[in-house]
Amino acid sequence: MKVGIHQHVFTESLNTKNLDYLNIIRDIGFDSIDINVRNLDTATAKIIKRRADKLDLIIKGGGSLPYDKELLSENKDKRIEAIAYMKCLVETVIELGSDFYGGVIYGPLGRFTGLGPTDMELEFSAEALREVARFAKKYGIRLGIEPVNRYESYILNTIKASLHHLKKVNEENVGLLIDTFHMNIEEEDFYQSILQAKDKIFHIHVNESDRGTPGKGHINWNKVFRAIRDIEYKGVLAIESFVGSKVDIASVICIWRKLAESPDALARDGYKFIKKMSEKYIV
């Protein structure tokens, strides 16, 4: 099983001055890195790709829709703007040499109306994802919609709701990015929730209950890894945390304290734990 880590464990943004993070990540043993493409220009993406290729490091693209990209607005021009923005992010993913782009890409992260999602909003979301998916498919890119907890979005909070949304989108290159941190809040059972998604799961974030080091919280990892084994998942298990970076979504995800002693400590301890659980259940 391949194990990955998100850049946000170490830094808010990757650039030509801190590319050695890729070497550090590879030296620890990680096979993959999740990269936030929201603040990444094309030239830098190409440079990152060259370094990752030399290290034999897989890249997975990510980046949720920011507050001001109104994908669900009744104003058609605002929806068109948000779709164009997403296509630009897909183009950056292409430059990175990645085959995946995922996150909260079905509506703006942290934007609320005080109500649950309306049928119209869900239809706008599905229409947009359909258009972006068809664009991405031409380049071999798969999209992953990530159900997140109720405090970060009101659109899709559970795997069940997300699977229903996938049926609306009806594009084969659109699946799920699931995250155990969010599942711990919204799902009744880790095993059954993962089992119901089966081959629709394109990417997995293996995160602890406090978004800190995997294995040091109260996630039921035995159920998680049993499910991963039973659905025969072959993708990457990636740790996502926010230790060494002041990310632009900090106010949305509400991280106000240190989640580990250091980025390096979280990465090393987290890697050892995920490898141990993988070997117990999967290898």
Q: Is the dihedral of CA 65, 67, 70, 74 positive or negative?
A: positive
Catalytic residue among 70, 91, 95, 146: 146
Cβ 143 vs Cβ 110: under 8 Å? no
Q: Retrieve residue 172's tokens.
A: 């084969």
User: Catalytic: 91?
Assistant: no
Cβ proximity of 173 and 142 under 8 Å: yes
- Please tell me which residue in 70, 95, 187, 240 is annotated as part of the active site: 240
Phi, psi angle pair for 117, to nearest 5°: -65, 140
Q: Which residues pair with 179 in a beta bridge?
A: 205
d(CA 128, CA 241): 28
Q: 48: number of CA atoms within 13 Å, CB side?
A: 31
Q: With the C-alpha atoms ordered 259, 265, 266, 267, is the resulting torsion angle positive or negative? A: positive
CA distance 233 to 130: 25
Q: What is the 3-state secondary structure (H, E, C) of 139-203?
A: CCCEEEECCCCCCCCCCCCCHHHHHHHHHHHCCCCEEEEEEHHHHHHHCCCHHHHHHHHHHHEEE
Neighbours of 53 (CB within 10 A): 11
Q: Please provide the distance, in angstroms rounded to a whole number, between the alpha carbons at the two ends of the chain.
A: 7
Q: Is residue 237 a contact partner of residue 1, using CB atoms and an 8 Å limit? A: yes
Which amino acids are annotated catalytic?
A: 146, 240
